[in-house]
Amino acid sequence: MIALWTSLALLAAGVIWAALVYRHISHVSQGDKIPERSGTALLLVDLQEDFWNSGQYDEADKTQATQAIRAAVTRAKSEDQPVITLRQEWSTPSTRTFARIFMKGQGLAGQPGAELASSFVDMGEYEVIKRVQDGFETGALDTLLDQLDIGHVQIAGLDAALCVNKTAQAALARGYKVTLLQDGTLGALPKATEKAFETLKDAGAEVI
C-alpha cells in the first residue's frame, strides 16, 4: 500500500511539474509600450531542422511556405527592412527535460537539429535566440527592435498556433503593428491554427 501511495504521489508531482513548465513555456510577456517608430522588420520564427523536418507538416504546404518566405525576404531586403530569425533553444534544466519527455528532444540547445533548416540558412541579417514560445521573453528582441527603430513586425514561420502565435501576442501587447504572413506560416493542427489567426485578428493583427 505504501508503494502504491508513493507511486501516486510521484505521478501527481510529475503532472504538476509538467503543467508548471508548460505554463512557463507558453506564457506571453507584456513588456513596455513602445513609442511611435517608423521601421518594419520581418521575423522568421523557428524555421529549424528539428521542427521543419519533423513530419508534422505536409510537403506541399512546406513548398508553398518556402516560396512565400523567400518572396517576403526578397521584398524586405529590397526595401531595406531587416530580416530577423528567431531560433528556439531549450536551454534551462526544466525546459530541456520537458523537451526530452514531450517533444522528442527537438530544439535542444547545442544540438544540430536546433540549427536553421537548409532552405532558410543565411536569410536573416540578425538572429535572436528564444527560450520559450514567446520570442520577446528574454528582452533581446525588444532591444534589437528598439535599436532598429521598428514599430511594425511581419511574422512568418512555425508553428502558427504556438511560437508564431505567442510572439505575435507579445508584440501586440507592446504596441507593435503586427502582420502575419499566412502563406509563410505553417500549423500542425488546422483547427488550432485557424483559432490562433482569428484570435490575433481580433486582437488587432493583420493576416495577409
pLDDT in tens, 169-204: 999 999 999 999 999 999 999 999 999 999 999 999
CATH number at residue 86: 3.40.50.850
* Cα 28 to Cα 72: distance, rounded to the nearest angstrom: 26
What confidence score (pLDDT) does residue 22 get? 86
Q: Look-up: residue for cell 533553444? A: 89
Residues above pLDDT 90, as percent of the chain: 87
How far is the C-alpha of 190 from the C-alpha of 59, rounded, in Å? 15
pLDDT at 168: 99
Q: Does residue 19 contact residue 92 with C-beta atoms inside 8 Å?
A: no
Cell of 152: 511594425
pLDDT in tens, 146-158: 999 999 999 999 9
Q: What is the full DSSP assignment across 161-199?
A: TTHHHHHHHHHHHTT-EEEEEEEEE--SSHHHHHHHHHH
For residue 175, give the 3-state DSSP assignment.
coil
- Which stretches of 51-173 are assigned E, i.e. beta strand? 83-88, 126-130, 150-157
pLDDT of residue 9: 59
Q: What's the chain's length in residues?
A: 208
Domain around 35: 2-207
- C-alpha cell recorded at residue 62: 512546406
First vs last C-alpha separation in the chain: 60
What's the total number of domains in the chain?
1
Q: How many CA atoms lie within 13 A of 97 on its CB side?
A: 9
163 or 10, which is more confident = 163
Cell numbers for 133: 514560445
pLDDT in tens, 27-56: 999 999 999 999 999 999 999 999 999 999
